[in-house]
């Protein structure tokens, strides 16, 4: 019965093949919604049967996660996650479930929303669900990081105490894991507090930016990580910048509006103020203030322009702050290139309106034959770009909103031992 879904017409046109891929993706999402409903119904039936059989409440439903994992050809641990996600989706998040069923959300993106809502009460989950997913058009084009950021922000606004309590407990789970990889390689994974991870990321990318010996970025970052952990080939440490974006109200007036840590996403307002205070109090760190302006009602940053071909540092920094990640829809990769939407050789201006942040891969792809990108603004004044593929499909990207009256703090961290304290 499933073979028909896998059949395609290899002689079909490119657009037809693309549409078939999109159709099958929507089918996968609908199937995931059906699996969630089936899992929740199975749990209810199992608990009812066990209650009738006199099984103690604490023991009802044991092993069901493993059973679901087997049915899905997945591990018991993941089966338990599937069950808990299904329980929240079906009971408390009907809009998210409907978006999944209609194919607007993939299963993995629905799971990201559920994980951010898990610490909330059922009533607050329903409020988050309605705010984020009642209008399915707002979900189109959101990548994993942006969707997680939006869900995290709403959760914090609904119940900051629960979110902060979860965030306070989270560092207890910090760890480093190792697993083998092919060809005598290994994968090292570190689970760290967001501020520590941002500092590590900044240190490694800074080393990659400074390298001129022919190694690629990944190689430099891996070599730098090894050197600084093991002590081999230690180079002279340099200051590393970590950018934190927050509004005046958050900084000075005790507002609960979340801040944004570059390379991570939103941070609770209290955590941002504490981070700035710690930086100012530390003799080996300092904080500098740079003010940007955003429309207070929409969060759209004001424009900047230059007559040069290359984007000057200030304008490039402005665009990177506005776009946050690669502007290609669904791509959350870090920005590597500040690119002209309309090419400079076609009289495209070097301006915020004609600029966008892109990862290296996406920037090269848009230069391939048949691709077109068009810049504009939406009804709220936020910067938009439309990506038109060689088969004629159009995908829209909108710059995310930021808090009005932004202040951007740069925390400089010296990666050296403080000899005065030794």
Q: Per residue in 240-292, pLDDT tens? A: 556 677 777 777 667 777 877 766 677 788 877 777 776 666 665 556 666 56
Helix/strand/coil for 147: helix
What CA–CA distance (Å, rounded) separates 233 from 215?
16
Q: For residues 144-171, give the mean pLDDT.
A: 92
pLDDT of residue 77: 86
Quick one: pLDDT band at residue 333, thresholds 50, 70, 90?
A: confident
What the block records as the tokens of 181 is 């990889």
Please give the residue that has the higher pLDDT: either 413 or 115: 115
Compute the distance between CA of residue 394 and CA of residue 68 in angstroms, rounded to an integer.
Answer: 38
pLDDT for 8 equals: 87
d(CA 33, CA 171): 33
Of the listed ranges 58-62, 70-74, 112-116, 269-273, the least confidently predicted one is 269-273
Residues 368, 371, 374, 378, CA torsion sign: negative
Q: What is the mean pLDDT of residues 109-127?
A: 96
- Element containing residue 179 per DSSP (H, E): strand 175-181
Confidence of residue 405 (pLDDT cuts 50, 70, 90): low
- Per the model's pLDDT, the better-predicted residue between 101 and 370 turns out to be 101
Can you read off the two tokens belonging to residue 17?
């093949």
In terms of C-beta density within 10 A (0-12 exposed, 13-18 middle, 19 or more buried), how is residue 368 classed?
exposed
What percent of the chain stands above pLDDT 90? 42
Nearest Cα neighbor of 400 from 380, 374, 422, 421 is 380
pLDDT in tens, 288-315: 666 565 666 666 665 555 555 678 887 8
Q: What is d(CA 50, CA 33) in angstroms, rounded to the nearest whole number?
A: 26
Q: Which residues contact 71 (CB under 8 A, 6 or more apart)?
A: 79
Q: Where are the domains of the chain?
A: 25-53+60-157, 240-287+406-421, 305-398
3-state secondary structure of 384: strand
Per-residue model confidence (pLDDT) at position 290: 61
CA distance 299 to 295: 5
> In the prediction, which pLDDT does 299 show?
65
Is the pLDDT at 167 greater than 90? The verdict is: no
Dihedral sign for Cα atoms in the order 359, 156, 291, 396: positive
Other Cβ atoms less than 10 A from the Cβ of 420: the count is 7
Burial 138-165 (b: 16+ CB within 10 A, else e): ebebbbebbbbbbbbbbbbbbbbebbee
The model's confidence at residue 194, banded by pLDDT at 50, 70 and 90, is confident
Residue 416 is predicted with a pLDDT of 39
pLDDT at 394 > cutoff 80:
yes
Q: According to the model, what pLDDT value does residue 284 have? A: 58
What integer pLDDT is reported at residue 39 of this predicted model? Answer: 96
- Banded model confidence at residue 407, pLDDT cuts 50, 70, 90: low
Cβ neighbour number for residue 416 with a 10 Å cutoff: 11
Segment holding 305, helix H or strand E: strand 305-306
Angle (CA) 37-40-46 rounded to 5° is 135
Sorting pLDDT into bands at 50, 70 and 90, what band is 5? confident
**What does the mean pLDDT of the chain come to?**
84
| Residue that wins the pLDDT comparison between 234 and 265 | 265
Position 417 confidence tier, pLDDT thresholds 50, 70, 90: very low
DSSP track, 386-412: EEE-TTS-EEEEEPPP--SSEEEEEEE
pLDDT winner (highest mean) among 110-119, 163-172, 314-323, 348-357: 110-119
Using an 8 Å Cβ cutoff, are 276 and 267 in contact?
Answer: no
Q: What pLDDT, in 10s, does the model give residues 13-39? A: 999 999 999 999 999 999 999 999 999
Of 172-186, 194-208, 289-303, the range with the lowest mean pLDDT is 289-303
Quick one: pLDDT at residue 415? 41
What is the pLDDT averaged over residues 132-157?
94
Confidence of residue 222 (pLDDT cuts 50, 70, 90): very high
pLDDT surpasses 60 at 401: yes
More confident residue, 212 or 306: 212
Phi, psi of 323 (to 5 degrees): -85, -30
State pTM to two decimals.
0.70
pLDDT for position 147:
95
Using pLDDT thresholds of 50, 70 and 90, give the confidence band for residue 420: very low
């Amino acid at each position: 019965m499933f073979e028909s879904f896998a059949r395609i017409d290899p002689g079909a046109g490119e657009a037809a093949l693309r549409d078939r891929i999109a159709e099958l993706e929507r089918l996968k999402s609908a199937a995931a919604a059906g699996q969630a409903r089936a899992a929740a119904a199975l749990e209810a039936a199992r608990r009812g049967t066990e209650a009738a059989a006199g099984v103690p409440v604490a023991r009802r439903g044991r092993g069901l996660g493993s059973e679901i994992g087997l049915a899905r050809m997945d591990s018991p641990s993941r089966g338990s996650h599937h069950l808990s996600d299904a329980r929240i989706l079906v009971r408390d998040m009907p809009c998210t479930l409907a978006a999944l069923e209609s194919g607007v959300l993939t299963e993995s993106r629905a799971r990201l929303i559920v994980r951010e809502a898990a610490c909330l009460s059922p009533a607050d989950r329903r409020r988050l669900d309605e705010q984020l997913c009642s209008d399915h058009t707002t979900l189109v084009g959101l990548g994993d990081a942006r969707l997680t950021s939006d869900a995290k922000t709403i959760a914090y606004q609904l119940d900051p105490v629960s979110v902060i309590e979860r965030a306070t407990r989270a560092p207890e789970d910090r760890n480093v894991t190792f697993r083998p990889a092919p060809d005598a390689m290994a994968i090292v994974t570190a689970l760290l507090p967001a501020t520590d991870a941002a500092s590590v990321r900044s240190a490694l990318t800074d080393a990659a930016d400074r390298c001129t010996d022919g190694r690629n970025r990944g190689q430099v970052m891996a070599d730098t990580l090894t050197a600084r952990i093991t002590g081999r080939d230690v180079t002279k440490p340099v200051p590393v910048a970590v950018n934190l974006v927050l509004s005046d109200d958050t900084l000075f007036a005790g507002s609960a509006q979340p801040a944004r840590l570059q390379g991570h996403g939103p941070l609770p307002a209290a955590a941002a103020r504490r981070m700035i205070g710690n930086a100012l109090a530390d003799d080996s760190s300092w904080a500098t203030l740079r003010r940007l302006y955003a429309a207070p009602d929409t969060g759209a940053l004001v424009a900047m322009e230059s007559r040069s071909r290359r984007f000057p540092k200030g304008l490039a920094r402005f665009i990177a702050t506005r776009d946050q990640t690669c502007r290609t829809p669904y791509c959350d990769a870090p920005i590597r290139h500040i690119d002209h939407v309309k090419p400079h050789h076609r009289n495209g201006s070097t301006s915020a309106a004609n600029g966008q942040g892109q990862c290296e891969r996406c920037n090269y792809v848009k230069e391939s034959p048949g691709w077109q990108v068009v810049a504009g603004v939406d009804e709220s004044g936020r910067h938009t770009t439309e990506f038109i593929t060689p088969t004629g499909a159009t995908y829209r990207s909108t710059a995310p909103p930021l808090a009005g009256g932004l202040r951007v703090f740069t925390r400089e961290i010296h990666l050296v031992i403080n000899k005065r304290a030794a």
